[in-house]
Structure 1
Amino acid sequence: MSNYKFILSGGGTGGHIYPAIAIAKALQARYPQASFLFVGAKDKMEMEKVPQEGFDIKGLWISGIQRKLTLTNLMFPFKLISSLFRSRQIIKAFEPDLVVGTGGFASGPLLKMAASMQVPCVLQEQNSYPGITNKWLAPQAEKIFVAYDGLERFFPAAKIVKTGNPVRSDLLKIDHLKEEAMSYFDFESGKPVLFVMGGSLGAKRINELVAQHLDLFKELGVQVLWQCGKLYYEQYKHLAAEGVKVKPFISRMDLAYGCASVMISRAGASSVSELSIVGKPVLFIPSPNVAEDHQTKNAMAVVEKGAALMLSEKELDASFETVFRELITSKEQQQALGTNIRKMALPQATENIVDEIVNILNIRKNK
């Protein structure tokens, strides 16, 4: 049987959406006759991103719980009941053989309802510290695919499979792209490149940091590829100069990684997984504005293995110049960080996840 039906649910942020899309595409390659349906949260980015990748999506009226008392929180019970009812309708109409949840509040009611209807469910947890949704769903999941060690604290140990996080396949081939990448971004060959990324929307504090230190980068002979994000491009585009490229968004991430000597990045789970495969020295500046401070935990899991540097936003004013100056001038440090972070890479993550899903389907079929 190859005409399986799969529902994938996850969203709210790219860190939940892109792994789901990667898994869907790998399942599609394995089962060309299969049918796919995504379920996300209405008005969130998945409603735009998923159709762009060629998949159908249905939206639930659901949102996360805020940390303070708000109207949204008061509405949450009604949204949850509505989403459970809508999830039941979707599952009955589509009749999936298996459901994949990648985190984010939309996947909660969908997988909860699927499990109650005896549909096998699997979870993919990107972070070293799981979100509320996946912790809530773990008892009903058949398997939980993780990227970090030590998640037995949160999930049943027998269900955990360490696969790594799904990443774009083009990142597996960046080693030979240096020359093409330098030409693409119009950089001078022979000079180091700092690649700064703060996500597609941008990171306010990282942008401020780069703007404040352009003279330092120039003094050190460092060229800068600065993805400032769509929200900040108008504010910083005037700082573009010889050796300083300011971009709202970068579509050719393989070339951005290909030209980079060192990188500054947030520590979202997808970014950490990509950077491990890229295998170049990175300074993490975790976002302090995420649930349970999971970006700091993600970064620490890498730093503790001598595979990256990390500064909190509070440490930047006092420590950034010293840390960066040493990083860019020490080839030994660069080599050690690059070697160690590459050891953490799990480049076959998507295929490993699909193999596990195939096993579950085969066991079900043979029962």
Structure 2
Amino acid sequence: MGKYRFILSGGGTGGHIYPAVAIADELKRRHPDADFLFVGASDRMEMEKVPQAGYEIKGLWISGIQRKLSLKNLLFPLKLLSSLIKSRRILRSFKPDLVVGTGGFASGPLLRAATDLGIPAVIQEQNSFAGITNKWLAPQVDRIFTAYEGLEKVFPKEKIILTGNPVRSGFSALEKKKQEALKHFGLSADKPVLFVMGGSLGAREINKLIASRLDLFRSLDVQVLWQCGKLYYDQYRRHENEAVKVLDFITDMELAYAAADIIVSRAGAGSVSELAIVGKPVIFIPSPNVAEDHQTKNALAVVEKQAALMLSEGEMHDKFDDLFEELLEDQEKRKTLGERFKALALPDATQKIVDEIERLLHKKSNE
């Protein structure tokens, strides 16, 4: 067969975008002459992040259904129809050999149009609870790559392959990068570092918690590397000083992980998978504002194996101080948590997914 052509679609949040980019990078590594196109939602962060990763992207006029009664919901059927029509146009023009969906609004119409046209298609589900888009697509696609067991309850069992979540590269040998990381962020080498990450857009309640505990961190001589998110940067940037670094978004995540001694994080699937490979002590504060409370389920899968700690938003203001101080003082506990978490990692997810994609392409070309 000649050179391959791939379309990848997924977005809305970093949790859908980064797996798609990781899969594209591995396909490109194996097939340097392949052509790639991404398809996303025209007003979401993938329109910025995908070109930064070196790939072309086209946008669809699509958004999710709001849970509350909303005028936007009235536009949904029109947006879906428009996106299906545009998706067909993109597919007929680009002529991909295979389409990959990693969840998010835009992957729905694009993969639905692809399967209707008989183009091989695969999806990747990051969470322990399947997203609405992937549930809708599952009956039509050829393969479903999952990161958690038990999804045969919602997906056709014969299509499921447990691979883990694709993560960005560069998270190995972090200890060797520690000095470089501290210098990069302007942090001191003789004080511990708390790294706070609330996801690509930020997390309002975690930001409120951190802002209210800056005196505590100062009294404990702890430095804070605080990724507050673009939505909140203007509100919290005034807290920046020698010991508190406030950033809207961090591009060099491996350096942030390398600098960290303790991490406070949401429990999105991509973050959990990355943090397992990083292998450092983590306090999860799951977002309660997600479908079926899947972040709590993601975090519990780690906590139940005594590989991380967790606080709900409801209890964090009462319990954070004691939990954090105890973890800071107990170096052995930090080491144990990190080692146990690392033992849960599935670091070869991207390679496994691309292996399966190649098998599928080979099978289709022989049919």
CA–CA distance in 1 between the matches of 2:233 and 2:112? 41
Q: CA deviation at 1:136?
A: 0.9
Cα 1:193–1:41, aligned 2, differ >3 Å: closer, same or farther? same
**Pairing 1:303-342 to 2, within 5 Å after superposition:** 303-342=303-342
CA–CA distance in 2 between the matches of 1:326 and 1:288? 25
2:262 matches 1:262: yes
Q: CA deviation at 1:91?
A: 1.5
Q: SS state of the match for residue 333, structure 2? A: helix
Q: Is the contact between residue 14 and residue 199 of structure 2 (CA under 8 Å) also seen in structure 1?
A: no
Q: SS state of the match for residue 191, structure 1? A: coil
Cα 1:259–1:127, aligned 2, differ >3 Å: closer, same or farther? same
Name the structure 2 match of 1:361: 361
Q: Is the contact between residue 122 and residue 144 of structure 2 (CA under 8 Å) also seen in structure 1?
A: yes
Out of 15-24 and 231-240, give the one that drifted further. Answer: 231-240
Q: SS state of the match for residue 170, structure 2? A: helix
**Letter paired with 1:45:** M
Cα 1:64–1:220, aligned 2, differ >3 Å: closer, same or farther? same
CA–CA distance in 2 between the matches of 1:233 and 1:83? 33
> What RMSD, in angstroms, separates the aligned Cα atoms of the two structures?
1.6
Q: CA deviation at 1:284?
A: 0.7
Q: Deviations over 1:178-235 (max 9, x none)?
A: 2222233333323321111112332221111112112222232322111222332332
Q: CA deviation at 1:2?
A: 4.6
Q: CA deviation at 1:114?
A: 1.1
Q: SS state of the match for residue 177, structure 1? A: helix
Cα 1:83–1:246, aligned 2, differ >3 Å: closer, same or farther? closer
Q: Deviations over 1:47-73 (max 9, x none)?
A: 222222222222222211111222221
Cα 1:112–1:249, aligned 2, differ >3 Å: closer, same or farther? closer
CA–CA distance in 2 between the matches of 1:201 and 1:92? 34
Q: CA deviation at 1:237?
A: 2.5
Q: CA deviation at 1:345?
A: 1.1
2:53 matches 1:53: yes
Q: Deviations over 1:323-357 (max 9, x none)?
A: 11211112232122111110111111111111110
Q: Is the contact between residue 2 and residue 33 of structure 1 (CA under 8 Å) also seen in structure 2?
A: no
Count residues in correspondence. Answer: 367
Name the structure 1 match of 2:78: 78
Name the structure 1 match of 2:232: 232
**Letter paired with 2:271:** S
**Pairing 1:1-367 to 2, within 5 Å after superposition:** 1-367=1-367
Q: TM-score if structure 1 supplies the norm length?
A: 0.95
Out of 302-311 and 197-206, give the one that drifted further. Answer: 197-206
Cα 1:251–1:40, aligned 2, differ >3 Å: closer, same or farther? closer
Cα 1:157–1:74, aligned 2, differ >3 Å: closer, same or farther? same
**Letter paired with 2:235:** Q
**Letter paired with 2:62:** I
CA–CA distance in 2 between the matches of 1:191 and 1:259? 11
Q: CA deviation at 1:151?
A: 1.6
